[in-house]
């Protein structure tokens, strides 16, 4: 081996002058021998303007074994993967390290040449060595999961020159030789004291934690804290970015994670019944979740906590090679009550795959999306999409890295559920409470920007029922008497100062007492020993449909338990499953009675309600009246069946445009015949109406034209819907006077103006 290494060193300088003709693709092109002169010229020019030269040498020491055991195709792909991984990682170099060249030496060694704007600390260079090595190794493992790890060994080292090289032709060879030696002795480069230091951290469990709060962006209340692990203060391993990668590289990641999780729970301080502690788990240890479960359950029992208090926050998802296997292991944890959060969502494809495969309870938006979101419409659109997506899969969004007031307000307005970042609270030990000024700011804008519900949507708060409530110190004996006195009593809420702590359902309660020794065990004990500590709780503004969906997704054991309804965390009452289903059924029947039988859109009763609501409201809304020109004549000419098809087409176009270009405040109704009405906030009106006539023209330009008339319903302008309709008739008459499909609205002076006109639409009745 020594001779082989010596041969490599002797060859290295020549290879700089003679790059092999290996086609790597994806931007790494083959270079001819004549390119070497240009390379050396560029290096000389670069170094005259910099503070020094940094060379990272990457030695893929056993890669030739892949060619021997698996063939040249696998070997070439491995080399290509390593080069591309190196190219990826240099993008993460600090700004003062300017990568100039990445060269392939021999057939499987890589050199990265960088100019320095300032000289980095020595320890930072060792950090880069380790991170480059780990990144390339991970990429190789992802591409070649079937290949033995002994063939995927990566060594990295560096050479640092604080002065410009004099004769680059002569001095570059010793520099490469030094970097290669550094790579071959990577553990020595970390030095023996550092290895001993890490071993001492594990043996003495010298892991501490800082706790960063996670807040509701509606009420400002505490959801919980994320536990952030730290090594010994002022040591090389203090930061998690060095601590955990080193553990992964030395095969001690599982040991470190279990120490970290146990200590995070033990030192978290008091958690209220529904508060959460977010614990990081690395996907590299996914196959050991059963061990993690036992590790956590023992500490939870000591602390008097439940699995429902813990959220497992998954990191490093790129290394999950078998999602189905991991999902199965994870499900065992979730069945016990643990929740799942996905970290850094939005940072890449792998995170979106994890969302689809793992169905998390929480999605944490990467701080790169949050940063300056108030200035970036694209980021706002992306978060808006995530909010809609989260509603559909019944999970909550947590925005990470909130640092400014403007970012916070924008995220509240977009409907993000929770937030985390320095503005809301810095990581601290012990876990600190939140500043009252931040809570007030969130409540102020959270109230202004509460989630907008569609008009006439029924919320669960409107059907809440009163419930019997008892204190946590109430005895089981006393609870039994409540159930015996009232045969119709199905459930009792356990509360403390109007904060719900749990639920006692009749059926579960008597199952406890009917078990062997049940009465003897529980009779004199407080109700908290038999209550459900984690019943389903929803806020009063939750829609009936969403509440029903969440309730029916519960386990069979809890399927018919009451739903507890809260307002800003305080109990309002309960809703039984029977009552919930009755109200949903009745509301659907009522909606069907009020709907137009042809289009299914709300009819005149609902339309009048909506018009009266905006007329008496305190904000401006715009009302659009839409109809088909000469519809009666067209209907007489082509027949009622054709007329119905046109009306259905227009209704579908209206629904499509409102769904894609409006928001939840928009209302669409069918007055009757060919007359439709649309109510929108002013900022959506122009775009929606323009889209409507353009789409209708595209679909039926040779047959029909469409007229839209828009009236601004400003506060106090109209006394009732009849007065508004009378004013709208004038606008419709003006629209009909203009040829083609048109969209007209009032101008600033009250006169009607044509905002959009398509003149080649047919207004005359065609011959049959």
Predicted confidence (pLDDT) per residue in 242-287, tens digit: 788 888 777 788 889 889 999 999 898 888 777 899 999 887 676 6
Q: What would the 3-class secondary structure string for 430-494 be?
A: CCCCCCHHHHHHHHHHHHHCCCCCCCCCCEHHHHCECCEEECCCCEHHHHHHHHHHCCCCCEEEE
Over range 359-365, report the average pLDDT: 88
**Among 130, 155, 154, 129, CA closest to 54:** 129
**Among 131, 139, 305, 116, CA closest to 224:** 305
Residue 612 class from Cβ within 10 Å (0-12 exposed, 13-18 middle, 19+ buried)?
A: middle
CA 623 to chain centre: 36
pLDDT given at position 22: 32
Higher pLDDT pick, 233 / 226: 226
- Render pLDDT for 516-549 as a digit per residue (tens, 0 to 9): 777 777 888 999 988 988 888 888 888 888 888 8
Q: What global pTM score does this model have? A: 0.54
Round to whole Å and give the CA distance between 231 and 199: 12
Distance separating the N- and C-terminal Cα atoms of the chain: 93
At 280, list the tokens. 């990081």
Q: What is the DSSP letter of 617?
A: S
At 632, list the tokens. 């009666």
Q: Report the chain's C-alpha Rg in angstroms.
A: 34
For the ranges 190-194, 329-333, 568-572, the one whose mean pLDDT is highest = 568-572
Round to whole Å and give the CA distance between 384 and 386: 5
Treating both helix axes as pointing N-terminal to C-terminal, what angle do 240-249 and 192-204 enclose, rounded to 10 degrees?
A: 100
Beta bridge partners of 532: 503
Q: Which 3 state secondary structure label does DSSP give 736?
A: helix
The model's confidence at residue 24, banded by pLDDT at 50, 70 and 90, is very low
pLDDT surpassing 80 at residue 763: no
**Among 707, 140, 217, CA closest to 449:** 217
Round to whole Å and give the CA distance between 254 and 421: 28
pLDDT given at position 385: 84
Round to whole Å and give the CA distance between 227 and 86: 32
At 750, list the tokens. 């009250």
pLDDT surpassing 70 at residue 2: no
Higher pLDDT pick, 600 / 569: 600
Task: Return contacts of 592-601, CB within 8 angstroms, 24+ apart.
Answer: 596/670, 596/672, 598/644, 598/647, 598/648, 598/651, 598/670, 599/647, 599/648, 599/651, 599/670, 600/651, 601/651, 601/655, 601/668, 601/669, 601/670, 601/676
Percent of the chain at pLDDT exceeding 90: 21
Over range 681-693, report the average pLDDT: 90
**Average pLDDT of the chain to the nearest whole number:** 80
At 226, list the tokens. 């994320």
- Render pLDDT for 91-105 as a digit per residue (tens, 0 to 9): 878 878 887 788 887
pLDDT given at position 15: 42
Q: What would the 3-class secondary structure string for 90-125 be?
A: HCCCCCCEEEEEEEEECCCEEEEEEEECCCCCHHHH
Q: Which residues, at least 6 apart from 410, have a Cβ–Cβ distance to it below 8 Å?
A: 373, 374, 380
pLDDT given at position 168: 58
pLDDT given at position 34: 40
Domains observed in the chain: 2-190 (3.30.70.270), 204-448 (3.20.20.450), 460-585 (3.10.580.10), 597-758 (3.30.70.270)
Round to whole Å and give the CA distance between 559 and 554: 6
pLDDT given at position 463: 93
Beta bridge partners of 595: 602
The model's confidence at residue 494, banded by pLDDT at 50, 70 and 90, is very high
CA 409 to chain centre: 18
The model's confidence at residue 709, banded by pLDDT at 50, 70 and 90, is very high
The model's confidence at residue 146, banded by pLDDT at 50, 70 and 90, is low
Largest CA distance in the chain: 99
Treating both helix axes as pointing N-terminal to C-terminal, what angle do 377-393 and 405-414 enclose, rounded to 10 degrees?
A: 40
Round to whole Å and give the CA distance between 316 and 487: 54
- Render pLDDT for 182-227 as a digit per residue (tens, 0 to 9): 666 655 545 566 777 888 899 899 999 999 999 999 888 899 999 9
Alpha helices in 24-167 (DSSP H): 35-48, 63-70, 72-90, 122-143
pLDDT given at position 465: 93
The model's confidence at residue 165, banded by pLDDT at 50, 70 and 90, is low
User: Does 430 sit behind a cis peptide bond, omega within 30 degrees of 0 on the bond before it?
Assistant: yes
DSSP conformation letters of 739-760 = SSEEEEEE-TTS-EEEEEEETT
**Among 277, 271, 309, CA closest to 212:** 277
Higher pLDDT pick, 99 / 321: 99
The model's confidence at residue 291, banded by pLDDT at 50, 70 and 90, is low
pLDDT given at position 544: 86
pLDDT surpassing 90 at residue 162: no
Tell how strand 499-505 and strand 310-315 pair up: unpaired
Over range 353-378, report the average pLDDT: 84
The model's confidence at residue 11, banded by pLDDT at 50, 70 and 90, is very low
For the ranges 171-175, 443-447, 469-473, 494-498, the one whose mean pLDDT is highest = 469-473
In this structure, how many other beta carbons lie within 10 angstroms of the beta carbon of residue 73? 10
Residue listed under structure tokens 């998802």: 317
The model's confidence at residue 46, banded by pLDDT at 50, 70 and 90, is low
Round to whole Å and give the CA distance between 625 and 671: 9
- Phi, psi values for residue 218, rounded to 5°: -110, -50
Indicate left, alpha or beta for 147 from its phi (over 0: left) and psi (-120 to 50: alpha): beta
Higher pLDDT pick, 288 / 690: 690
Q: How far is CA 247 from CA 89, 123, 202, 264, 483, in A?
A: 20, 17, 10, 18, 56
């Amino acid at each position: 081996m020594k001779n082989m290494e010596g041969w490599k060193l002797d060859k290295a300088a020549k290879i700089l002058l003679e790059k092999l003709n290996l086609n790597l693709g994806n931007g790494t092109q083959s270079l001819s021998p004549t390119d070497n002169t240009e390379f050396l010229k560029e290096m000389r020019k670069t170094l005259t303007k910099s503070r020094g030269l940094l060379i990272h040498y990457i030695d893929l020491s056993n890669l030739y074994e892949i060619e021997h055991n698996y063939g040249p195709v696998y070997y070439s792909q491995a080399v290509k993967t390593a080069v591309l991984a190196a190219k990826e990682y240099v993008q993460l170099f600090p700004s003062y390290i300017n990568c100039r060249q990445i060269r392939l030496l021999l057939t499987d060694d890589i050199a990265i040449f960088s100019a320095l704007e300032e000289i980095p600390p020595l320890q930072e260079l060792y950090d880069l060595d380790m991170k480059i090595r780990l990144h390339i190794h991970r990429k190789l493992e992802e591409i070649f999961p079937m290949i033995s790890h002994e063939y995927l060994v990566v060594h990295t080292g560096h050479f640092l020159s604080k002065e410009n090289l004099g004769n680059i032709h002569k001095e570059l060879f010793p520099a490469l030789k030094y970097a290669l030696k550094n790579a071959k002795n990577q553990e020595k480069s970390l030095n023996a004291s550092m290895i001993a230091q890490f071993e001492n951290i594990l043996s003495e469990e010298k892991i501490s934690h800082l706790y960063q709060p996670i807040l509701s962006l509606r009420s400002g209340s505490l959801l919980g804290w994320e536990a952030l692990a730290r090594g010994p203060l002022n040591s090389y391993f203090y930061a998690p970015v060095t601590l955990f990668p080193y553990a992964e590289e030395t095969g001690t990641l599982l040991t470190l994670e279990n120490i970290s999780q146990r200590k995070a729970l033990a030192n978290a301080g008091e958690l209220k019944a529904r508060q959460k502690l977010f614990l990081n788990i690395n996907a590299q240890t996914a196959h050991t979740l059963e061990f993690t479960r036992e590790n956590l359950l023992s500490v939870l029992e000591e602390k008097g906590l439940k699995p429902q208090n813990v959220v497992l926050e998954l990191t490093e998802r790129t290394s999950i090679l078998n999602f189905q296997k991991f999902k199965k292991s994870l499900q065992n944890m979730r069945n016990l009550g643990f929740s799942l959060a996905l970290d850094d969502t939005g940072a890449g494809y792998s995170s979106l795959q994890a969302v689809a495969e793992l169905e998390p309870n929480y999605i944490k938006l990467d701080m790169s999306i949050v940063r300056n979101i108030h200035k970036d419409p694209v980021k706002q659109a992306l978060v808006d999409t995530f909010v809609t997506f989260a509603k559909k899969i019944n999970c909550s969004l947590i925005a990470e890295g909130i640092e400014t007031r403007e970012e916070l307000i924008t995220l509240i307005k977009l409907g993000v559920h929770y937030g985390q970042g320095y503005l809301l609270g810095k990581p601290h030990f012990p876990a600190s409470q939140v500043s009252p000024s931040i809570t007030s700011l969130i409540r102020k804008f959270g109230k202004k920007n509460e989630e907008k519900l569609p008009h006439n949507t029924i919320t669960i708060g409107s059907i809440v029922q009163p419930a019997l409530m008892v204190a946590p110190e109430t005895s089981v004996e006393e609870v039994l008497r409540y159930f015996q006195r009232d045969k119709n009593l199905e459930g009792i809420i356990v509360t403390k100062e109007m904060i719900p702590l749990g639920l006692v359902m009749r059926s579960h309660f008597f199952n406890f007492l009917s078990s062997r020794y049940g009465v003897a065990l529980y009779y004199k004990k407080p109700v908290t020993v038999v209550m459900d500590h984690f019943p389903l709780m929803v806020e009063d503004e939750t829609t009936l449909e969403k509440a029903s969906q969440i309730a029916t997704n519960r386990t069979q054991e809890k399927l018919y338990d009451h739903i507890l309804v809260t307002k800003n965390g305080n109990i309002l009452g309960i809703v039984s499953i029977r009552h919930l289903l009755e109200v949903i059924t009745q509301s659907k029947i009522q909606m069907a009675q009020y709907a137009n039988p042809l289009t299914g859109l709300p009819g005149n009763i609902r339309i009048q309600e909506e018009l009266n609501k905006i007329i008496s409201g305190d904000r401006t809304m715009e009302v659009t009246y839409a109809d088909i020109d000469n519809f009666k004549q067209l209907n007489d000419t082509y027949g009622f069946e054709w007329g119905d098809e046109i009306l259905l087409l227009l209704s579908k176009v209206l629904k499509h445009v409102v769904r894609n270009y409006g928001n939840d405040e928009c209302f669409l109704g069918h007055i009757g015949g060919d007359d439709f009405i649309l109510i929108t906030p002013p900022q959506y009106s122009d775009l929606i109406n323009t889209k409507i006539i353009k789409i209708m023209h595209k679909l039926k330009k040779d047959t029909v034209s469409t007229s839209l008339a828009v009236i601004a319903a400003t506060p106090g302008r109209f006394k009732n819907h009849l007065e508004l309709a009378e004013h709208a008739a004038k606008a419709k008459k003006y629209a009909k006077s203009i040829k083609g499909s048109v969209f007209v609205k009032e101008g600033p002076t009250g006169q009607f103006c044509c905002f959009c006109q398509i003149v080649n639409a047919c207004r005359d009745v065609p011959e049959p």
